[in-house]
Chains A and B, each alone.
Chain A
């Protein structure tokens, strides 16, 4: 079956512009996660959606970052007024619906964001 997909694969934008990054999780997965991967920094958790519960936004670095998940499926991460320090690879992952804590996360290929 299809894995997690993300679009666009690459995005180049100018400082101050807004960007939207899209994630299509594996069908039926109720948990969806956004991470940011900066060079040499590992994976930084951003936001987590689980079913119909309120999202865990504790990892968002500033109020310029927001995310939504429509219909329990597709998610969009929005960065407003982009800054050069936002340049990174943004990774989306989803996890199966059982909600068990030993379930692994399945990752998409990522969106490489470059802010000029």
Chain B
């Protein structure tokens, strides 16, 4: 079975400060990992993904995420937060053995960046 946990429902950070949105996962095999962002009244927008290789993945809008196999984590990070980063963030996982099947999503973390 596959699952994702986002332990924080809400993260608040001051503009200009670094931000971290946490994600841990569980799969039987090896994972492919994804981050999506959802702005109000919009669908989900792909940010970045981990497939293999370098554990630090860089994505859109200055976001990056670090894959840590021993801790089964894939935390989303940004060195300097912007007010426009305020949104709902979803982590997702897929076991590499299961083909193009639906991603399994976490419940989401609402990021609020305060000016």
Residues of A within 8 A of B (CB): 4, 31, 33, 35, 40-43, 45, 48, 50, 56, 59, 91, 93, 95, 99-110
Q: Is the CB of B43 within 8 A of A99?
A: no
Q: Is the CB of B100 within 8 A of A99?
A: yes
**A-B pairs with lowest CB-CB distance, top 4:** A42-B107, A107-B43, A43-B105, A107-B44
Of the candidates B32, B97, B100, B103, the one having the most CB atoms from chain A within 10 angstroms of its own CB is: B100
Contacts between chains A and B (CB distance < 8 A), count: 64
Please pick, from B34, B97, B102, the residue contacting A45 in the complex, using a CB distance under 8 A. B102
B71-110 residues at the A interface, CB under 8 angstroms: 90, 94-108
Q: How far is the CB of A91 from chain B (nearest CB, A)?
A: 6
Contact (A107, B107) CB under 8 Å given A50-B100, A99-B100: no
